[in-house]
Structure 1
Amino acid sequence: MLQHWLPALLLAVAAPLLAAEPSTYGPELEGFDYPYPVGRFDFESQRERRHMAYLDVQPQTPNGRTVVLLHGKNFCAGTWEASIQALGQAGYRVIAPDQIGFCKSSKPAHYQYSFQQLASNTHALLEHLGVDQATILGHSTGGMLATRYTLLYPEQVEQLVLVNPIGLEDWKAIGVPYRTIDQWYERELKTSAQSIRKYEQGTYYAGEWQPAYDRWVNMLAGLFNGPGKETVAWNSALLYDMIFTQPVVYEFGQLKPPTLLLVGLKDNTAIGKDAAPEALRPQLGNYAELGKRTAKAIPGATLVEFDDLGHAPQIQAPERFHAALLKGLAELKQ
């Protein structure tokens, strides 16, 4: 009798362990599906052929406007799923690229990363898609990129939207020590689902956690768990160096388009905070202060604050966030 139910018992015991196995994806996120068809833009950059993956989602009832969504450091085009749906229902065409070095796009062995270069790549993509005017919306590191894009191409930006952007303070000027790219690389090689989840819970979701967030944890962890781990970690290190050494905070006053700031006040993001002197850490990433300071620095900016949300309000509270976003887009256009 034992031999009949023992296999079932072993399977029942092993099932939770199997479910807990970390995901494994290819270096360009092969194996992880986005909610919309993925396009590919091939182009030459820095003497090599590169490609950018992107989503281009057309609304059923177009309002004639386009929103370009620029993802953050630990995000991808696919993480804009709820935002694409909300914007599409409101009539917006939505374009969401994966930047070079991220997710489903090229991860070069050698690349001179700069926000100017990424902005130029994005501009080339929009030209390829026939988009002359758009609202540029950037979240986190994407906020730094959106700012740089707007400074480079002000006449082609109808509106600028910044969602918990980083770069609102110059960490190196404040006293955060510099990490070499090699040091960043060694740090990134240690990335795991556990470390991602711990960081995101405290920063992105203000100490809360929902099972739905695990999808995005597994997306990132799968890249670092896959056959391209070293390539992914190396590009991540190069990108961290770009973020740390290329502040945009000093140029906010030069922005010309109408600007909407959407800020979760429980955010505490600051690049390199873990390496900062202990006495300095509590002073970094104070978004309750940084959001107001940035709104004052940007001419005519509109600030919307979410007292109870963290770094990713569009994921943590999508209905509330998108109601504020759509209201802001309509008001800025008037």
Structure 2
Amino acid sequence: MDLYYEIHGSGKPILMIHSGGADSRDWSLITPLLQHRFQVITMDGRGIGSSPSPVEQPNYILDVLSLLDHLNLPQAAIVGHSMGGQIATEFAIHYPERVSELVLIAPALSGYPYSDEFQDYMKHVGEAAPDVELMIERSIGAPSYKVARSSPQRELMVDMLRRHFMRTFTWPAAAFAPIWPAPPAYERLEEIRARTLFIIGDQELPDNLLVAESFERVPDIRFIRMTGADHMVTLTHPEAVSQHISDFVED
């Protein structure tokens, strides 16, 4: 296993998959609250944090499978935030026997028809390269970061983004086209067998709120909409998020 990971606590295993633009510090305020009841596993995705850069097209779903195999875990609760939620969703569809519970926090969704406005926002960030500070400014300027950018965790969010952007400059071109299974998860949400918890803030981009509506097709799903929270709810509302995860996994 070449990916960087940490294990905290003991008990029922929970694997935490961080958001895009972040690293395992996405969970730095949540892990201490969960590790007293669970075995909490955090990881840096390929090309992020302390994990090695990809040398070819990355397959994030197989990376999750490899980590569970390496740890000899036949099953774990899988928690994913943003892009990490997209990975977790795909993993739950393709390896249902390995997922005891699924927790999605403002997830992205492969195959979802994102709006022109959303794609323009992403393009606007990318066009600022290689000016990392301008990329950060454009990223957190979105309404979905309004709460986090005025919070005490702003510097942590900015530092994760800075390190993420700087790492991507070292990636090979193939790394920007990760392997996602076909057909995409957007067309297969009804196949998710795991009990699922969906957490999202009410200060989100319209596309992310519409993605939440798509997940209503999951057979066994519970929704929690958090008032006064934005896309970085893991940093701004760690106590509430931790409690929701703990209650759900122990239910």
Please list every run of 5 or more consecutive structure 1 residues that lacks an aligned counterpart in the other structure. Answer: 1-40, 42-50, 269-283
Q: 1:220 corresponds to which residue?
A: 161
- Residue 189 (structure 1) aligns with: 129
SS at match of 1:52: coil
Residue 53 (1) aligns with residue 4 (2): yes
Does the 8 Å contact 1:185/1:236 carry over to 2? no
Asked whether 1:163 is paired with 2:105, we answer yes
Gaps of 5+ in 2: none
State the distance in 2 between where 1:170 and 1:130 align. Answer: 33
Q: Which residue of 2 aligns with 1:264?
A: 201
Pick closer, same or farther for the CA change 1:234–1:316 going to 2, 3 Å: farther
Q: If the length of structure 2 is used for normalisation, what is the TM-score? A: 0.84
Who is 2:15 aligned against?
68
**2:52 is aligned with 1:106:** yes
State the secondary structure of the residue aligned to 1:220.
Answer: helix
Query: Which secondary structure state, in structure 1, belongs to the residue aligned with residue 101 of structure 2?
Result: strand
For the aligned residue pairs, the C-alpha RMSD in angstroms reads 3.1
Query: Counterparts in 2 of 1:144-155, with a 5 A limit?
Result: 144-155=86-97
> Which region of structure 1 is more displaced relative to structure 2, 118-127 or 100-109?
100-109
Confirm whether residue 209 of structure 1 aligns to residue 113 of structure 2.
Answer: no
- For the Cα contact (< 8 Å) 1:135–1:157, is it kept in 2? yes
Determine the C-alpha separation between the residues in 1 that align with 2:19 and 2:66. 20
Q: 1:285 is matched with which residue?
A: 207
Larger RCO, structures 1/2 (Cα 8 Å, 6+ apart): 2
- Provide the C-alpha distance between the structure 1 equivalents of 2:243 and 2:170, rounded to a whole number of angstroms: 39
TM-score w.r.t. length of structure 1:
0.65
Cα distance between partner residues in 1 of 2:186 and 2:149: 30
| 1:205–1:312 CA contact under 8 A, matched in 2 | no
Give the aligned residue type for 1:221. Answer: R
Which whole-Å deviations, capped at 9, do the CAs of 1:115-161 have from their partners, x for residues lacking one?
Answer: xx211122111111121110001110011100111112111210001
Q: Which amino acid aligns with 2:193?
A: K
> In structure 2, how many angstroms separate the alpha carbons of the residues matched to 1:93 and 1:145?
20
Give the secondary-structure state (helix, strand or coil) at the position aligned to 1:285.
Answer: helix
- 1:11-90 equivalence runs, <5 A: 41=1, 51-57=2-8, 59=9, 62=10, 64-89=11-36
Verify the 8 A CA contact 2:30 2:239 in the aligned structure 1.
no
- Taking a change above 3 Å as real, the CA distance of residues 233 and 219 of structure 1, as seen in their structure-2 partners, is farther
Residues of 2 paired with 1:265 and 1:235: CA distance? 35
Once the two structures are TM-superposed, the CA of residue 326 in structure 1 deviates from its matched residue by 1.7
1:200 aligns with 2:140: yes
Identity of aligned residues (%): 21
Quickly say closer, same or farther: Cα 1:200–1:325, change in 2 above 3 A. farther
Q: Is the 8 A contact 2:57 2:174 kept in 1?
A: no
Relative distance call for 1:205 and 1:316 in structure 2 (3 A) is farther
- Select 2:188's aligned residue among 247, 251, 274: 251
CA separation of 1:290 and 1:128: change in aligned 2, threshold 3 A: closer
User: How much does 1:103 deviate?
Assistant: 2.2
How far off its partner does 1:56 sit? 1.5
1:142 equivalenced with 2:79 (yes/no)? no
Give the AA of the match of 1:85.
P
Tell me the secondary structure at the aligned position of residue 171 of structure 1: coil
Tell me how far apart the structure 2 counterparts of residues 118 and 322 of structure 1 sit (CA, whole Å). Answer: 24
Corresponding residue of 1:304: 224
- Count of residue correspondences: 247
CA contact (8 A) 2:102 2:196 kept: yes
1:318 corresponds to? 238
